[in-house]
Chains A and B, each alone.
Chain A
Amino acid sequence: MTGDSSQSPPSGDRRGLIAFSWLWVGIPLGYGLYELVRKATQLFTG
Chain B
Amino acid sequence: MSPPVAPPGWSRWLVPPAALSVHLSIGQAYAWSVFKPPLESALGLSGTQSALPFQLGIVMLGLSAAFGGTLVERRGPRWAMTVALVCFSSGFLLSALGSATEQYWLIVLGYGFVGGIGLGIGYISPVSTLIKWFPDRPGMATGIAIMGFGGGALIASPWSAQMLESFGDDNVGIALAFLVHGLTYAVFMLLGVLLVRVPRTARPVAGTPAVSNGPQVSARSAVRTPQFWLLWLVLTLNVTAGIGILEKAAPMITDFFADTSAPVSATAAAGFVALLSAANMAGRIGWSTTSDLIGRKNIYRVYLGVGALMYALIWLLGDTSKPLFVLCALVILSFYGGGFATVPAYLKDLFGTYQVGAIHGRLLTAWSTAGVLGPLIVNWVADRQEEAGKHGPSLYGTSLVIMIGLLVIGFVANELVRPVHPRHHEPGPGTPKEAADDRRQQSESA
- Report the Cα distance A39→B154, complex, angstroms: 11
Are A21 and B18 neighbours in the complex by a CB distance under 8 Å? yes
Mark each residue of chain B from 6 to 35: 1 if its CB lies under 8 Å from any CB of chain A, else 0: 101111111001101100100000000000
- Report the Cα distance A14→B272, complex, angstroms: 41
Mark each residue of chain B from 197 to 224: 1 if its CB lies under 8 Å from any CB of chain A, else 0: 0011100110100000000000000000
Interchain CB contact (< 8 A) of B14 among A7, A8, A17, A35 = A17
Question: Residues of A contacting B226 with CB < 8 Å?
Answer: none
Are B24 and A28 neighbours in the complex by a CB distance under 8 Å? yes
A4-35 CB contacts (< 8 Å) to partner B: 4-11, 14, 17-18, 21-22, 24-25, 28-29, 31-33, 35
Q: Check if B271 is an interface residue, CB within 8 A of chain A.
A: yes
Are A7 and B204 neighbours in the complex by a CB distance under 8 Å? yes
Number of interface residues of A (CB under 8 A): 33
The chain A residue with its CB closest to the CB of B152 is A32
Q: Check if B265 is an interface residue, CB within 8 A of chain A.
A: yes
The chain B residue with its CB closest to the CB of A17 is B14
Interchain CB contact (< 8 A) of A36 among B8, B274, B445 = B274
B residues apposed to A, CB below 8 Å: 6, 8-14, 17-18, 20-21, 24, 148, 151, 154-159, 188, 191, 195, 199-201, 204-205, 207, 265-272, 274-275, 277-278, 326, 441, 445
- Report the Cα distance A44→B274, complex, angstroms: 12
Interchain CB contact (< 8 A) of B274 among A11, A14, A21, A39 = A39
With contacts A6-B205, A35-B157, A39-B271 taken as known, whether A14 is within 8 angstroms of B24 at the C-beta atoms is: no
The chain B residue with its CB closest to the CB of A21 is B17
Per CB-CB distance, the 4 closest pairs between chain A and chain B, nearest first, are A42-B271, A46-B267, A43-B271, A32-B154
With contacts A14-B9, A14-B11, A42-B270 taken as known, whether A7 is within 8 angstroms of B154 at the C-beta atoms is: no
Are B271 and A40 neighbours in the complex by a CB distance under 8 Å? yes
Are B271 and A25 neighbours in the complex by a CB distance under 8 Å? no
- Report the Cα distance A5→B221, complex, angstroms: 33
The chain B residue with its CB closest to the CB of A13 is B9
State how many angstroms separate the Cβ of B178 from the closest Cβ of chain A.
19
Question: Residues of A contacting B191 with CB < 8 Å?
Answer: 21, 24-25
If A7-B205, A9-B9, A17-B14 are given as contacts, then 4 extra A-B residue pairs at C-beta distance below 8 Å, sorted by A number, are A6-B9, A10-B10, A14-B11, A32-B157
Question: Residues of A contacting B205 with CB < 8 Å?
Answer: 4-7
Question: Residues of A contacting B151 with CB < 8 Å?
Answer: 29, 32-33
Interchain CB contact (< 8 A) of B9 among A7, A25, A35, A39 = A7
A residues apposed to B, CB below 8 Å: 1-2, 4-11, 14, 17-18, 21-22, 24-25, 28-29, 31-33, 35-37, 39-46
- Report the Cα distance A10→B14, complex, angstroms: 11
The chain A residue with its CB closest to the CB of B326 is A43
State how many angstroms separate the Cβ of A20 from the closest Cβ of chain B.
9
Are B268 and A33 neighbours in the complex by a CB distance under 8 Å? no
Interchain CB contact (< 8 A) of B11 among A2, A24, A25, A32 = A2
- Report the Cα distance A44→B24, complex, angstroms: 28
- Report the Cα distance A4→B207, complex, angstroms: 9
Are B11 and A18 neighbours in the complex by a CB distance under 8 Å? yes
Interface centre among B6, B14, B266, B269 (most CB of A within 10 A): B14
With contacts A11-B9, A25-B24, A28-B155 taken as known, whether A46 is within 8 angstroms of B271 at the C-beta atoms is: yes
Interface centre among B13, B204, B265, B266 (most CB of A within 10 A): B13
Question: Residues of B contacting A10 with CB < 8 Å?
Answer: 9-11
Question: Residues of B contacting A24 with CB < 8 Å?
Answer: 17, 21, 188, 191
State how many angstroms separate the Cβ of A29 from the closest Cβ of chain B.
5
Sample (27) of A-B pairs whose CB atoms are under 8 Å apart: A1-B13, A2-B11, A4-B205, A6-B9, A6-B13, A7-B9, A7-B199, A7-B441, A17-B14, A17-B195, A18-B11, A18-B17, A21-B18, A24-B21, A29-B24, A35-B154, A36-B154, A39-B270, A40-B275, A41-B271, A42-B267, A42-B271, A43-B271, A43-B275, A45-B268, A46-B265, A46-B271
